[in-house]
A and B are shown apart, each in its own frame.
Chain A
Amino acid sequence: MSLLLDVKGVTKRFGGVVANDAVSLSVREGEIAGLIGPNGSGKTTLFSSIVGAHPIDAGAVLYEGRDISALRIAEIARRGLTRTYQQTRIYGQMPVIDNMRISAPDVKEGILPLFRRAGRASEARARDLLSFVGLYEKRDLLAGSLSFGQQKLLEFAMALMSEPKLLLLDEPTAGINPTLINGLIDRLKRANKELGVTLFVIEHNMRVIMNLADRITCLAHGQVLASGTPDEVREDPRVLDAYLGAQ
């Protein structure tokens, strides 16, 4: 499998805090990669560094073999690399279905496509994806009136609507009703298999990430502590230490 994402020695500082310290890791095309680490270890910052939400201080981010570290977030999104947010970001004063409509892939082509009719296929896809995450009944409600967990699901559906090649998900199960988590894991796997979206997932829930990811990287204090298969990472004493030490 070829490398879709190759992060090489990325460093990001906030004043005196080194949130990412020469981080190197990679994501292969078609896989589900996981990112774990204690609170404050720099996971979200790494996602922001990858998608161009902020300039990085050192290193390079290669996506499809090209260095994208100087590009801005919108340009990177247009190439098919998108992220969801830990705190969820949706368009709160718009109905759920309109959140989907404005996430269609052709809005990334410019202003003029916005005047084209969305087309039946696009409408159907918006409805299908809402059904996929279980929000079809809520389609006419304002997105801001949904619960946190439902907003998370909507944001996931919006991301899929935009047809990314690589999707970075920041704690997709946070705030989701525990009885629904297994269903969500199943949906993430289906998005990966059936829609062909490569996933890179930050997850706090160990059971979830062990179940989901093909390979896992563990961060601590901004540095890569360990990486490998779920079993390798789970049994790595440094990972156990980092988690126990952080409790």
Chain B
Amino acid sequence: MLNKHLNLNPKLFDSDVEQAPLRDGFGKGLVKAAEINEKVVGLCADVTESVRMHWFAQKFPDRFIQTGVTEQHMASCASGIAAMGKIPFISSYAMFNGGRNWEQIRTTICYNDVPVKIAGSHSGLSVGPDGGTHQALEDMALMRVIPRMEVVAPCDALEAEKATVAIANTKNPSYLRLAREQTPVITTADTPFEIGKSVILWDNTAQVDCIENRKPPTKNSRNSRVAIIACGTMVHKALVAGRELASRGFGVIVVNNHTIKPLDKSTLLNVASKVDFVITAESHQIYGGLGGAIAELLSENMPKRMAFIGVRDKFGQSGTGEELFKHYKMTHVDMVNAAITFAEG
């Protein structure tokens, strides 16, 4: 059952669901954040329109700094700006902003303890045709391991907008994971968002549990309660998989885990306590990102069998998003199959 309290997009399962890129949400959110707080400044490394910082740059030309193609310098320059009391957002593609400038982010931003906000656009497989060089599949792992860093991967454009406004208010450095492609809009303006608060989008476990002598979802099924914990552009696929599994008799909880760090331990452990099996889904390597974070949390507190949906130690390649998700076994069907395999196992 979709969570009624979240004011989700009523058309979210429709084939003509509204779509928008996460980066657009960032661009709008940045203008909002800048209107609210005059300390917000923006830096970009020659991809301003592409990462949607141009709306900010047009509205606040005196607070925009074009650094040219200098991601390493941009990160440290923002550190200096933050040391003077401002809140700089730095933006480029995740592969370069988060990837190329990792050590500058670690030392001059996080170790230095200044609130620089890092927007990594064009993350994940869905960059598609640009190919493997441009598909950042390691960025959440890279960012998550740095002390003090917050890591946020919003699920749709509206959430990206809210996340942008929200990270402008935290005193820590933050990494905001964005994507280029059209992504179904799951939330509405009225859907709550809070950094560090995971969102239960779907939960039909109560209904399933109360049906006496219910029909098992598969032939020999014993373990039929499953959680799908997803982030970013994979959340919509997780919802589609969740609904499908529910229709087959599974008890399913679908979590939008937009904040990878700090993890919402209480919500996640509570979810885990209600299920037999946990699936994580991310457009990222299965190592070190969302799946890694959840595995660390569960194995320390409440060990569960898990399946990891993501790229399995491979580089990306050119193709449409759809082709690539199929190739790397990252569609909603793969999530459904993971649950069935477990239930029958």
Same assembly: no
